[in-house]
Chains A and B, each alone.
Chain A
Amino acid sequence: MLQVLADDQLVATSSATPPGMLRVLSRNRMAMAAALVIAGFLVMAALAPALAPHDPNQQHPEAIRLPPAWERGGAEAFLLGTDSLGRDLLSRIIYGARVSIMLGVAVVLLTLVVGTALGMLAGYFGGPLDAVASRLVDVLLAFPFLIFALAIMAATGPNLGALVLALAFKGWVDFYRVVRGDVLSARGAAYVIAARGLGASTPHILFREILPNVVPPIIVVATLRMATIIIAEASLSFLGIGVPPSIPAWGTMVSDGRADIAAAWWIATFPGLAILLLVLSVNLFGEGLRDALDPRMSL
């Protein structure tokens, strides 16, 4: 009998498992190019001290507001120019990658765990738990993210932990929805009923049977959320309530450059370009993942 069930309920199609996904994905050239760019940023962040030509916080009073090296007045020592305090833009951009990536990963992981856990519980147990959670989600969604973030950061001052919380505030909802949906449909699936019939305990079913099937969509959501979080963090830093000013961050740099857009356009432009490049790559890669997982899901 187990044999019959095993044949009947093959774990979806081959592309719904991580190794299957990777195979389809590798054929997508745009996504692979994006992955390379992401890898580049990761390397940049990891090896920042080795790659950056200058200390990102060091001010060079003799080289204030220097244009990029290829413009008149630029210097090769400061390839992308310097800001109003004489700090090298290139070095700051390289170091800025660290903050964006680390914060992004931290927030996504946090929201992933919370959202997945809640989603599994709500989807599997349903009933009042599900109803309460849905109301909560409704209320949460009606809340403008920025206001909450502003309030928290105003309360605690520049604080990385609080920043993570502020960014994670609404982020878990996407995971929650996807996981809940998948768990709801899995609940009625033959392999779950069979497992229960064999006397498996609830935690076992949740973690060993259902969770593996939910992993691929979670990966997709995580990647796409990453893009959103990077932009959100940059926006907060831009407003001055994100990363503490002593840490080089792209959003802060754009804000710094704002005062000088008339005379020194590069100060605000290049950091933003970095954000665009990284987020675009993450989005492309995430889309590639989604196409690889299930073309029907993709936009």
Chain B
Amino acid sequence: MTERPLLEVEGVRTQFATYRGPLVAVDGVSLTVGRGETLALVGESGCGKSVAALSIMRLVRRPGRITAGRILFEGEDLRGKSKREMQRLRGARLAMVFQDPLSTLNPAFTVETQLAESLRVHGVARGRAARARGIELLDAMGLPAPQERLRSYPHELSGGMRQRVMIAIAVSCSPDLIIADEPTTALDVTLQVQIMDLLAEIKRQRRLAIILITHDLGIVSQFSDRAAVMYAGRIVEQAQVADLLSEPLHPYTEGLLGCVPRLGRPDLPITPIEGAVPDLVTPPPGCRFAPRCPRVMDRCIESEPPDYRVRGGRIVRCYLREEMSQGVLAAPGGTSP
């Protein structure tokens, strides 16, 4: 059929040691990303999407660690790699763009230093060649006067420029996958569109796969191919974006869509989702969304639904969809303890 997916995350579980006990931030998350594909990872704050991203890059630090699952990048399990090997991969094949460019760029070094670092460490270019590449990259990112920008410090640049610099650094070594953690949240709306357009352009030119982490459904609909909805450390629904938005299968996804005001339809009510996210140190035994679900059944409270495979390549974790399921995904590590 098609080639093997670029990234296959299977049943990854990441937990943090807290004084109250282990907090499982990512609990059995599975997803795939194909070459050149954009997968949106959607969810509210605290659902674990950033931790999931860090887990994929194996950047989770003490007191957190990945306790289960496989992360197959081009067929190889990243969890089996040594620190050195991971360092070689990061930046070169897998890159990450963070949320707030002001705090993510080192205030003490110039743009040039931070850009050239990547190029040098991954053997792409050094010295004068690196500077030339830097200018090229900044220019490609749409930064005016790239020579001056190279010599600037992060605090001398505007928010939009900083974000472009960060993206420039991320693509500098031509990676295959970029994880963008809320790349536009810290920017105003006009900049958001510009940055997303830039990302789309880059993706097209370089056949980049992107994992786009966001809570903004507008961005999801405009820029992604597929989307995975995350709640309380679990993925509750995965589908092509068009399908997800027109016909959400999980009550949580429905709830999210209901929260979004529609342009031109001021008459539609905006319904927030009642309740709050569960405590991840002692999660409830059944479906995590059950306490807040408007269509909860007794079954949901007792046990956790499995991942049902549904037509169109969709996956849903909800008992409501049991009838339409074409099979159940067995997640390694399991969803039940």
- A–B direct touch, CB within 8 Å, in complex? no
Interface residues in chain B, defined as those with a beta carbon under 8 Å from any beta carbon in chain A: none
Interface residues in chain A, defined as those with a beta carbon under 8 Å from any beta carbon in chain B: none
